[in-house]
Amino acid sequence: MLPPGVKITTEILWRGTLSFAVIDLVLISILAWRIKPAAFRRIKWTLVVVSAIFWSSLWTWGLVTFWDSVYQYVFPAWAHWLIPPIFGLLDAGFCLFIWWAALRLRGYTVVNFILLGGLWGMITHLFAVAIGIVTKPPVLQGASPAAAVIFAIFEFMLYWCVILSVAGFLDLGWRRLRRVSV
């Protein structure tokens, strides 16, 4: 919950964007180095499951924490507890799509995956801007819609880095357990 009178400004969004961009660059470099295309292919369903859990959990936390200050202004009250599982499943489906697309694009599959995840952040936040995320909640009023959308690209890239990392660690752990038990 945000303290009364707090405002998320355009400057805060740009600073957050820069911070996320630096963190993303480091994480993407490590993930691209560690997760080869064969491993990326292998973790398909682990990615989907981790994605569903991650997004459902993130939405649950976000709605519990920021319902009064942000989300009540853009979502109907009846949707409060439906949003996490619905968006969790939607994002898991999108994960499957970007996994598929990342393997078919030129370049590094991991980089493709995370960049496509950032694109998803942009698309979702264009929708959020359209329904009033920067005009209706007092905490965001006056923040630049462009800054909010660009911020989301790097924010979502970080989220997809986390999802990919967890899926990669789970795969590594399962493979080691299978070797030990054989």
What does the pLDDT look like over 76-116, one tens digit per residue?
A: 999 999 999 999 999 999 999 999 999 999 999 999 999 99
Q: Is the pLDDT of residue 118 over 80?
A: yes
Q: Is the pLDDT of residue 169 over 90?
A: yes
Compute how many other C-beta atoms are within 10 angstroms of the C-beta atom of residue 24.
21
pLDDT of residue 1: 67
Closest CA to 72 of 14, 147, 1: 1
Q: What is the pTM of this model?
A: 0.94
> Contact at 8 Å (CB) between 143 and 9?
yes
Q: How far apart are CA 105 and CA 29, in angstroms?
A: 18
> Contact at 8 Å (CB) between 99 and 168?
no
